[in-house]
Amino acid sequence: MTATAGGVAANPLRKGLAANRIADPCNVIFFGATGDLMKRMLLPAMWNLRLEDMLPSNYGIVGFSRSDDDDEKFRDEMRKAVDEFSRSGPAKEPLWSDFAKHLSYVSGTFDDTNCFHKLRAQLEKNDKELGTGGNRLFYLSTPPSLFAPIVDQLDKGGLGPRDNQTGWTRIIVEKPFGTDLDSARALQAEVSKVFDEKQIYRIDHYLGKEPVQDIMALRFANVIFEPLWNRRYVDSVQITAAETVGVEQRGGYYDNAGALRDMIQNHVMNLLALVAMEPPVAADADSIRDEKFKVLRAIRPIDRARVTLESARGQYDAGSIAGKPVPGYREEPNVRPDSNTETFAAVKLLIDNWRWAGVPFYLRSGKRLAHKTSEIAITFRSIPHRLFGDAGDALDNNVLVMKIQPEEGISLRFNAKVPGPKMHIRAVSMDFNYGTGFGVVSAPAYERLIGDAMRGDATLFTRWDAVETAWQIVMPILDKWQNTIDESFSNYSAGGQGPPSSDRLLAMDGREWRKI
Amino acid sequence: MSLESSTVGTSLDAIRAELSRGKLATSTFNFIVWIDDPARRDWIRERAGMLSEKHPSFTLIFDNTGVREGDATVTTGARDPHATVTVRGERVEIDVSGLDAATIARYVTGLCAAGVETILWWSGFKEASRATFYALLPLIGTLIVDSSGGLADDSALRALADFHAEHMEVTLRDLAWMRLTPWRDMIANFFDDERLLGELFTIRALHIASGSDSEALYLGGWLASRLDWTATGRDAFTDRAGKTIAFNRRREGEIRRVQSICLDSETSWYHGEVTEDPGVVSVWVEGEHAREPRLFPLMAIDNASLLERAVLESGAVELFETALTTAATLLG
């Protein structure tokens, strides 16, 4: 019952059945297997892929970490993780026992080649006993500082693609890919010594979210939007990724990162690319990623002298979220009391190409804001001549909003006549939401992305050229912010709309942010 | 955004007036539901309501159970002209007991949105509903039924096959067929290894145990249509080489559920059987190509989701139609 590509294609019973279920037999190896991400997201994702029958018949899941665990203890820990965090609820028998047979654990340090020899022995054992066919997908869910050492040890331990004569080898690298342009390039140099670009899957879990994929459907499956999708009709674009949560247990990491690195350089930049890119020639990974890269490359570099005019940063103070008091950023665990790290970042970008010349793209992301919301708002230009409405009527610009979370949907604002004898005009907003109350729940991002990587579909992963370009775009801001203390910090209250400097960023252009 | 409901008389004008109070209406399809079985009324209404609330659509529920009392309920989105509107489905439920078929059809022409597909979920089983069914037929594009919805025998499937033969222009969906997708996937999975493809053409017997007949007949019909088998009676096929394939089916387990399946090839036995957990199937192979048992999760696809898939799938599904046609030949 080992699926083969030729067998699947030739099997007459396959007609009309989902072919995307079929991934090659493989081992998925998680580095950092006892960490929080593994327990909350990754192992539950693997379990749900099993429940959805999206795993191949022959698979192995190998955890690798420093903890001195063994297979049984690892399985127990993973069962607890599934019971607590899986969207499908606690694990049930007999499926869990069947799944657990595919779990194994290798204890080792990330800089000891002998440990990687042990890992190789385990994978070869799985190939024999589980029929995993020599195919290997490595997942780096460790702190970023360990990415390069692990890749190096994979090579030394004979686990790199060049040493694999029987199957494929791929690697998923968690974000952040570098902490700045230089470190990203250094990491890329190390990773590319061992893996080809086509074998590297840089994960940005935002791209696995259903509504993000809907952006392309909206743009390229409709005829009515694309003709308006350019500088002639679009006044400006706002992309918002707002959270109500603070840094929680991630203070140590976040205080060295900040909103620009954590959100703008990757998630928000990816949204910008999807909104602004040209139609790809095909829906395959490289056609889409080519277009995303082209639009990122067309973003006008920010002059270092203009950073303060074209960006804004903030740090939250104590305040309240949903009526509950929350501490200020500098009072959070593992955050320096004099921290200069931004928890809010806003940037104005211009795209120097035929389609978008002169249209500002305003990007913002922050923690402890009034509401959790991610959206892309396209504001269209004003009408050229006012024909209708009393002088007192406000004729609002049309706005198309793509809502990404927590609600998924589309909202369109347009002007309409108020019923009655007079010609009063007022703006109405039509929201189109698909309910999600029942039915096939879309798989969380990690399920989608791990499944894609197992099948070799890189469409939703970020290519190096895009990562590098995104770093190039934010570096002038990052340099400036790292080298100057913002004396205004903390400059916005938790539960608010962000710092006043963010409002000024748009006010200088005669615009204002949509309310969060 | 909560929906607002109000009860009005059953006249077309009263319903239209109530609908027009809704601020915005967006319909991606019209969804007509016929209920004449009091025992299944709430079950059907609940699922139709779930679909209506998820998809911007116009849902028209004809209640012929006699439980309602000569009125209609109109459910729309916001009616306050100043409200921000989230467009969700509009729904009208009408007591049609005692109304003739022509009157019922006029509700469809008078209320349904123009320019979008009209889908009928027919859950009727009373002979008296027959005239209404045929009055609605010219007004719809897609018909959804459940041939194992309430009956364990093959009568509903037989009627469906006859209907399909006479009305090829109607796009047909059968929830009983759609429930079988995980089973078809499991069976296909046996032969995804190209070394085993040849086994498909040496199958000599097919054994299926199911709670109602539709499932066994559909699976038999599907295999036959995919493998070029010809039905030679109620319990046998012949393959392309003229060899006989015995078809043994027995009724076992819950209605609408498959209990087990076994394909006997010349060298091996390919088994799938529901475990103690009804959501899990154990699959294994005995004989020359023996494989250890593997557990297959039967994806829990609830009826509302099946209904949604039936509605969203567009056009005729050749695979289903050939399976139905082949199943019909088994029925004689």
CATH 3.40.640.10 fits A5-174, yes or no: no
Average pLDDT over residues B267-289: 91
Residue B30 belongs to some domain of the structure: yes
Provide the strand spans (E) within chain B: 4-8, 29-35, 58-63, 72-76, 85-87, 90-95, 117-122, 142-145, 171-174, 205-210, 230-231, 236-238, 244-251, 258-264, 268-274, 280-287, 291-297
Residue of chain A nearest B52, judged by CA positions? A435
**What is the residue-averaged pLDDT of chain A?**
89
Residue burial A307-340, b: 16+ Cβ < 10 Å; e: rest: beebbbbbbbbbbebeeeebbbbbebeebeeebb
- Tell me the residue type at B197: L
B258 strand-pairing partners: B210
Which of A365-369, B210-214, B313-317 tops mean pLDDT? A365-369
Tell me the per-residue pLDDT of A344-387, one tens digit each, with 9 for 90 and over.
999 999 999 999 999 999 999 999 999 999 999 999 999 888 77
Return the residue in A1, A21, A57, A412 with the most chain B beta carbons within 10 A, the one to mutate for interface testing. A1
> How crowded is residue A286: how many other Cβ atoms within 10 Å of its Cβ?
15
B85 and A2: CB-CB below 8 Å?
A: no
Residue B312 belongs to some domain of the structure: no
Whole-number pLDDT of residue A147: 93
Task: Say whether both B13 and B130 belong to one domain.
Answer: yes
- Which range, of A249-253, A445-449, B138-142, averages the lowest pLDDT? A249-253
Residue B37, pLDDT above cutoff 60 = yes
Q: Does B100 touch chain A (CB under 8 A)?
A: no
**Position B26 confidence tier, pLDDT thresholds 50, 70, 90:** low
**Position A155 confidence tier, pLDDT thresholds 50, 70, 90:** very high
> What Å distances lie between residue A190 and A146, A180, A181, A465, B198, CA to CA?
12, 15, 14, 16, 47
Active site residue A267: yes
B319 and A432: CB-CB below 8 Å?
A: no
Average pLDDT over residues B66-75: 81
**Position A438 confidence tier, pLDDT thresholds 50, 70, 90:** very low
Residue B321 belongs to some domain of the structure: no
B277 and A95: CB-CB below 8 Å?
A: yes
Helix (H, G, I), strand (E, B) or coil at A223: coil
Which of A84-98, A205-219, A262-276, B104-118 tops mean pLDDT? A262-276
Average pLDDT over residues A212-232: 90
Residue B306 belongs to some domain of the structure: no
**Position A443 confidence tier, pLDDT thresholds 50, 70, 90:** low
Per the listing, tokens 């022959």 go with A58
Average pLDDT over residues A420-443: 65
Whole-number pLDDT of residue B1: 45
**Position A80 confidence tier, pLDDT thresholds 50, 70, 90:** very high
Residue B259 belongs to some domain of the structure: yes
Shortest Cα distance, chain B CAs vs residue A152, angstroms: 36
- Which range, of A58-67, B109-118, B244-253, B286-295, averages the lowest pLDDT? B109-118
> What Å distances lie between residue A391 and A322, A394, A418, CA to CA?
39, 8, 14
A17 and B181: CB-CB below 8 Å?
A: yes
Task: Say whether both B210 and B291 belong to one domain.
Answer: yes
Question: Over pLDDT 70: what percentage of chain A?
Answer: 94
A431 and B85: CB-CB below 8 Å?
A: yes
Give the one of A11, A18, A439 whose C-beta lies nearest to B192's C-beta. Answer: A11
Average pLDDT over residues A129-152: 92
Task: Say whether both B288 and B215 belong to one domain.
Answer: yes
Shortest Cα distance, chain B CAs vs residue A53, angstroms: 7
**What is the residue-averaged pLDDT of chain B?**
85
Residue B86, pLDDT above cutoff 60 = no
Residue A441, pLDDT above cutoff 60 = no
B190 and A436: CB-CB below 8 Å?
A: no
Whole-number pLDDT of residue A437: 46
Burial of B117 (0-12, 13-18, 19+ CB in 10 A): middle
Residues in chain A within 8 Å Cβ distance of B322:
none
Give the one of A57, A95, A438 whose C-beta lies nearest to B280's C-beta. Answer: A95
Average pLDDT over residues B212-216: 91
Boundaries of every domain in chain A: 5-174, 207-507
Give the one of B50, B223, B294 whose C-beta lies nearest to A1's C-beta. Answer: B294
- Tell me the residue type at A134: G
Shortest Cα distance, chain A CAs vs residue B193, angstroms: 5
| Residues constituting chain B | 332
Whole-number pLDDT of residue A158: 94
Average pLDDT over residues A151-169: 93
Task: Say whether both B35 and B128 belong to one domain.
Answer: yes
Average pLDDT over residues B73-90: 65
Query: How big is the A-B interface in CB pairs under 8 Å?
Result: 129
Question: Over pLDDT 90: what percentage of chain A?
Answer: 66
Tell me the per-residue pLDDT of A16-35, one tens digit each, with 9 for 90 and over.
776 555 678 899 999 999 98
Residue B98 belongs to some domain of the structure: yes
Tell me the per-residue pLDDT of A164-200, one tens digit each, with 9 for 90 and over.
988 999 999 988 899 999 999 999 999 999 999 999 9
Q: In angstroms, rounded to a whole number, what is the distance separating the alpha carbons of residues A42 and A30?
A: 9
Q: Does B232 touch chain A (CB under 8 A)?
A: no
Shortest Cα distance, chain A CAs vs residue B219, angstroms: 11
Shortest Cα distance, chain A CAs vs residue B84, angstroms: 6
Residue B82, pLDDT above cutoff 60 = no
B194 and A10: CB-CB below 8 Å?
A: yes
Residue of chain B nearest A17, judged by CA positions? B185
Contact of B226 with A13, CB cutoff 8 Å = yes
Residue A392, pLDDT above cutoff 70 = no
Residues in chain A within 8 Å Cβ distance of B296:
53
Element spanning B226, H or E? helix B213-227
Give the count of domains, chain B. 2
Question: Over pLDDT 90: what percentage of chain B?
Answer: 37
The CATH classification number of A207-507 equals 3.30.360.10
Q: In angstroms, rounded to a whole number, what is the distance separating the alpha carbons of residues A430 and A428?
A: 7
| Residues constituting chain A | 516
Residue of chain B nearest A413, judged by CA positions? B84
Residue of chain B nearest A437, judged by CA positions? B54
Q: Does B297 touch chain A (CB under 8 A)?
A: yes
Residue that terminates a domain, selected from B89, B121, B140 = B140
Residue B21, pLDDT above cutoff 70 = no
Residue B271, pLDDT above cutoff 70 = yes
Catalytic residue among A102, A267, A371, A385: A267
Whole-number pLDDT of residue A433: 65
Residue A12, pLDDT above cutoff 80 = yes
Residues in chain A within 8 Å Cβ distance of B310:
none
Residues in chain B within 8 Å Cβ distance of A50:
297
Residue B27, pLDDT above cutoff 80 = no
Give the one of B190, B276, B302 whose C-beta lies nearest to A1's C-beta. Answer: B190
Whole-number pLDDT of residue A399: 94
Whole-number pLDDT of residue A119: 96
B54 and A10: CB-CB below 8 Å?
A: no
Whole-number pLDDT of residue A21: 57
Residue B254 belongs to some domain of the structure: yes
Residues 6+ apart with CB under 8 A from A75: A100, A103
B305 and A439: CB-CB below 8 Å?
A: yes
CATH number of B196's domain: 3.30.360.10
Q: Which of residues 152-211 of B touch A (CB under 8 A)?
A: 181-182, 184-185, 187-197, 200
The boundaries of the domain holding residue B286 are 181-299
Task: Say whether both B185 and B124 belong to one domain.
Answer: no
Average pLDDT over residues A477-496: 94
Residues in chain B within 8 Å Cβ distance of A17:
181, 184-185, 188
Q: In angstroms, rounded to a whole number, what is the distance separating the alpha carbons of residues A230 and A233?
A: 6
Residues in chain B within 8 Å Cβ distance of A52:
297, 299
Task: Say whether both B204 and B280 belong to one domain.
Answer: yes
Residues 6+ apart with CB under 8 A from A385: none
Residue A236, pLDDT above cutoff 80 = yes
Residue of chain B nearest A56, judged by CA positions? B189
Residue B167 belongs to some domain of the structure: no
